[in-house]
Amino acid sequence: MKLTAQYVICLQHMCNTLASLGKLKKPCPKVHERVMEKRQALHFLPVLAVASFLIKISGSSSLRPVLTGPDLAFSGPRVVFRCVASNVSPPVIYELIKDGRVRIGRNRDFQGGQVALFPIKVTAASEGSYHCRATAGGTREISNGIKLRVVTPPSYTRVTSEPFPPVAYEGSRMALSCDVEMGSHLSYSWFFNRKEITSSTSLPFHFVGNKLLVERVTPEYAGNYSCNAWTSVNEIKRISSSTEVQVTIKVYVSKPEISFSVHKEGTGYHGNVTCWSTRGSPPVNFYLLLDGKEVDSATAAQTLAAWFLVVVVPELDMGEARCRVKTENQDLTSEPVNLEVVPVGGNVKVEVEYLYTADSKLTTARLSCHVSRGTFPYISWLFNDSVLPSESHPDSHIQPILPHIAFADRRRSLVLTKLSPEESGYYRCRARDNYDDAGPWVESAAELVQVTGFCMNITEAVTITFCCFVLLILVVGSACVYKMFENKQAHTNSVPANSDALQSELTHQSGGNTADTTATDCDVQNQITEVTV
């Protein structure tokens, strides 16, 4: 048997290839290309047989089918799985296996390299793991797996709330759910007053699955809510929309307040008690309590106020009244008010207060009217005996006497918003019962408000006063110093000339008394010494 060198070299390369693939347990023997004996060449025959067998095995090991198909599909339509094993000699048998044991379909390829198609109609039972099993030349292998998820489009979507019905008090927790009767692999979108809720929405919301959560609601959360449940497969979206649900946010009612007024009808009087709350959500129930006993009630359906009629007699205490408000979870009572009507009387006095800016400039003046007695006084102001403003024509457009005035505290205060010489004059206030237009007035004494054209602030006045005082001190001090030096000079010049005359006069007055003369001489000497020093 003759073997050419080329054939031996080919066997050498084949052996090396199989060794590199790990198919041989022993290394390939060295082959010399130039010197080759027949006996040595015969040793390669077993190697050649083994190589041929391994090549056959290696060729059959390339039977690796590949499965392609969808991993997500809507329930209802058909989908197709494809299986192919390349570089395999036909015939090839393909089988589609679900969950490792259920054969879905079988296909044969008699030409080689052909793709096997397996169309199936998608139902809820179609969800699972799929493989392709290929058989060729007595060899069988399993392909890669594909896990199919069946998507059921949403239907019959609705919004449910917690609490139910969707009415929540401020500060409480609210949860809305987007529920569907059928559907899988769903996503959700929420809408508030027909605008989609996103991260840029001003109100903070939390999304948890199919729920829309608000931990602490405020009145701003009241409105209409709806949701969309949707799913998407291969950019095809199926949407189911809910109807709108109106959410009501109730505000807790504030502590009620109470007021009391009186009206005169003919010769009789009627009292009106008003109960109200500054905030809250109607409807609320108001109750009138008189000396702790409930005497009347009313339901405020649209507003937060109620009115009750009571009988009153001037100068007679009719008791203590309170307002009580009740809701489904609140029960509050107002402060008391005495149902006693005291007619206006006693002393009426005006007090004037001047107001300054931050830099101590006089800007306004406030006049207050104090009435010593009266439950419902009506205050009227007079300027130089003219009423401010004209009470006979309160709605007229006649130019008022003083244009820069304002009233406050139910006309108890008169504010001169601008000070000028025009505002100078006498101001008085008077009072009567506001429920009796024909009642007598009680007037105060006139108070003079003097406004000059030149207004000096406190700082300027203090500065000028201090400067004048310092100047006066300097002038007086200078005069005193000058006078002191003038007297000192006069005494210095007159002491030598007058000392003898002074001594003679003292001697004459002593009448010759030696002791007295001595004392006088001493005194004179002391005076002379004091002057000369």
What is the mean pLDDT of the segment spanning 498-525?
A: 41
User: What length is written for the chain?
Assistant: 533
User: Is residue 23 over pLDDT 50?
Assistant: no
SS3 516: helix
Residues 31, 8 contacting (CB under 8 angstroms): yes
Query: What is the per-residue pLDDT across 139-174, written as a single tens digit (0 to 9) for each?
Result: 889 999 999 999 888 999 999 999 889 999 999 999
**pLDDT tier at 410, thresholds 50, 70, 90:** confident
Dihedrals phi, psi of 252, to nearest 5 degrees: -60, 140
CATH of the structural domain 66-151, one choice from 2.60.40.10, 3.30.465.10, 1.10.10.10, 3.30.960.10: 2.60.40.10
**Whether the domain at 158-250 and the domain at 257-340 fall into the same CATH topology:** yes
Q: What pLDDT sits at residue 57? A: 45
Dihedrals phi, psi of 48, to nearest 5 degrees: -65, -40
The Cα angle at residue 453 between residues 449 and 455, in degrees rounded to 5: 80
Q: Which two tokens stand for residue 100?
A: 């490792």
Indicate the burial class of 457 (C-beta count within 10 angstroms; 0-12, 13-18, 19 or more).
Answer: middle
SS3 521: helix
In CATH, the number for domain 345-449 is: 2.60.40.10
Domain ranges of the chain: 5-61, 66-151, 158-250, 257-340, 345-449, 467-532
**pLDDT tier at 525, thresholds 50, 70, 90:** very low
**pLDDT tier at 285, thresholds 50, 70, 90:** very high
What whole-number distance in Å separates Cα of residue 386 and Cα of residue 382? 5
What is the mean pLDDT of the segment spanning 119-138?
A: 90
Place of tokens 């007024």: 261
Query: What is the per-residue pLDDT across 355-383, written as a single tens digit (0 to 9) for each?
Result: 888 887 888 899 999 999 998 999 999 99
What is the mean pLDDT of the segment spanning 224-234?
A: 93
In CATH, the number for domain 158-250 is: 2.60.40.10
What is the mean pLDDT of the segment spanning 400-419?
A: 84
Q: Give the type of residue at 318.
A: M
Residues 346, 406 contacting (CB under 8 angstroms): no
pTM higher than 0.85: no
What whole-number distance in Å separates Cα of residue 297 and Cα of residue 307? 9
Q: What pLDDT sits at residue 220? A: 93
Q: Give the type of residue at 325.
A: V
**pLDDT tier at 316, thresholds 50, 70, 90:** confident
What is the mean pLDDT of the segment spanning 190-212?
A: 92
**pLDDT tier at 332, thresholds 50, 70, 90:** very high
Report percent pLDDT > 70 for the chain. Answer: 76
Mean pLDDT across the chain? 80
In CATH, the number for domain 257-340 is: 2.60.40.10
Q: What pLDDT sits at residue 508? A: 43
- Give 428's strand partners: 382
Q: What pLDDT sits at residue 29? A: 58
Query: What is the per-residue pLDDT across 454-489, written as a single tens digit (0 to 9) for each?
Result: 445 556 667 788 888 888 888 888 888 878 877 777
